[in-house]
Amino acid sequence: MIIQRLDYSNDGFDAQLTRLLAREADTGEDLQSLVADILRQVRTKGDAALCDFTARFDGWRCTPEGMVISRDRMEQAWNAVSEQDRAALQLAADRIRDYHQHQIQQDWSYTDAAGMTLGQRITPLDRVGLYVPGGKAAYPSSVLMNAVPAVVAGVDEIVMVVPTPGGELNDLVLAAAFIGGVQQGFAVGGAQGVAALAYGTESVPGVDKIVGPGNKFVAAAKRQVFGSCGIDMIAGPSEIVVVADSGNPVWIAADFLSQAEHDEAAQSILISTDGALLKAVAVEIESQLQQLAREKIARASVAAHGALIQVADLTQAAEVVNVIAPEHLELALDDPDAMLPSIRHAGAIFMGHFVPEALGDYVAGPNHVLPTNRTARFSSPLGVDDFQKRSSVIRGSRQALDIIGGAAAHLAHREGLQAHALTIELRMAMKENG
């Protein structure tokens, strides 16, 4: 298989890179009308519409009672999975919890020269909805990455929805929900599951925010319900950039393919100063592709969106990385710390030869819910702050009002808002008169 090659020194490099990155994120824009109808029906008809869509799309006879996944059922699943499963889930949950505890913000305040005491109060969301992908694959790691930070943030209630084709529940997903702190779940998914979380039904409580990845129906639904509740992000296909100036071609090829096997629309890019290394990795990619169970998916991804990019030095490599703003960035370098200060845009950065991206997917600790499709230019990984909100706190005396009130009243008048100004002027006049 021929993998696209780019060279930073070529005159047309910038245009080539732009074309390479011009993937269309499948966020369901072509489904807006269909999804809007699903949302409307669930909003107006509640459980009846939710179960009707679930029966139609997931192929089982859904009832309000039958779609409930209780905490006891999650515990049953925890006890049913293997000891090795439990140990791995517990390790992951503990490490995710430890990492995210470092993100907790504290209330703060200060008193300025005017005598105003100003501050910020941090409070958690009351109830969060977790969307867990279902279908052909099970993603217990997604449960932990979304639920554990919410628990750390102090969210009172975490509600999970998960599609169950044929009505089959996945014990590994339910076990992750149990150890992750999910209070209740529902065996529904798709746009109808998002609608249930956003608006609430007779059985499913409405939530303040929906987090978690899904297919294009889910993405389209999340776009439309935003405003009725919050959402985390609209995630696109996965991506990885590996920067290597030396290293084992076998390892680098495996890292390159780690995202390609996700989805035909995923993107894998290798940037190197060494042309011989690029050639060796290309040979190894072909060899490893032939061994993958998901070869067809990975091969399509590499053919359509993969690339090998040669640069003269790591300064050029950093420039390219910052344009790509990748979801996952591996600095497979002997001295990754030398390059790190030059990296401005990346979702997660993996340092050195012994930290493959897959560690971050499962047990490293930082969140694997990351900005995709160049959105790392302006957004961040899912974290504790996604489950909290800030309130400004403003306290002042008459003396402080006397010092700053005149300017505020003047600005209010300049904006034509007389009542605004009056609220200040009445108080200042009262002080002057008595």
Residue 203 pLDDT: 97
Q: In 184-294, which ranges are continuous DSSP H helix?
A: 190-199, 216-225, 249-260, 275-289
**DSSP β-bridge partners for residue 110:** 118
Could you tell me which of 88, 290, 68, 84 has the C-alpha nearest to residue 164?
Answer: 68
Q: Could you give the CA distance from residue 128 to residue 139 in angstroms, rounded to a whole number?
A: 19
CA trace torsion 135, 140, 146, 152 (10° rounding)? 160
Residue 315 pLDDT: 97
Q: Per-residue pLDDT tens for 387-426?
A: 999 999 999 999 999 999 999 999 999 999 999 999 999 9
Query: Which CATH code of 3.40.250.10, 3.40.630.70, 3.40.50.1980, 3.40.50.150 fits the domain covering 29-231?
Result: 3.40.50.1980
Q: Could you give the CA distance from residue 149 to residue 104 in angstroms, rounded to a whole number?
A: 10
The percentage of the chain sitting over the pLDDT mark of 90, rounded to a whole number, equals 92
Q: What is the mean pLDDT of residues 178-206?
A: 97
Fold of the 4-22+236-365 domain:
Rossmann fold (3.40.50)
Q: Could you give the CA distance from residue 201 to residue 80 in angstroms, rounded to a whole number?
A: 31
Could you tell me which of 219, 241, 216 has the C-alpha nearest to residue 347?
Answer: 241
Q: Per-residue pLDDT tens for 45-85?
A: 999 999 999 999 999 999 999 999 999 999 999 999 999 99
Cα–Cα distances (Å) from 12 to 7, 17, 154, in that order, read 9, 9, 51
Residue 1 pLDDT: 79
CA-based R_g, the chain, Å: 26
* Burial zone of 433 (CB within 10 Å; 0-12 exposed, 13-18 middle, 19+ buried): exposed
Start-to-end CA span in the chain (Å)? 87
pLDDT tier at 31, thresholds 50, 70, 90? confident
pLDDT tier at 27, thresholds 50, 70, 90? low
200 with 109: CB under 8 angstroms? no
* Burial zone of 242 (CB within 10 Å; 0-12 exposed, 13-18 middle, 19+ buried): buried
**DSSP β-bridge partners for residue 231:** 210
Q: Which residues are tagged catalytic?
A: 327-328
Would you say the CATH fold of 29-231 matches that of 4-22+236-365?
Answer: yes
pLDDT higher than 90, residue 225 = yes
pLDDT higher than 60, residue 299 = yes
Strand 127-131 relative to strand 267-272: parallel, antiparallel, unpaired? unpaired
Residue 235 pLDDT: 83
Residue 247 region, left (φ>0) first, then alpha (ψ -120 to 50), else beta? left
Burial 217-235 (b: 16+ CB within 10 A, else e): bbbbbbbbbeebbbbbbbb
Residue 29 pLDDT: 67
Q: What φ, ψ does residue 160 adopt, rounded to 5°?
A: -110, 140
Q: Per-residue pLDDT tens for 300-329?
A: 999 999 999 999 999 999 999 999 999 999
Q: What φ, ψ does residue 291 adopt, rounded to 5°?
A: -100, -10
pTM: 0.93
Q: For the chain, what are the domain ranges?
A: 4-22+236-365, 29-231, 397-433
CA angle 147, 150, 153 (to 5 degrees): 155
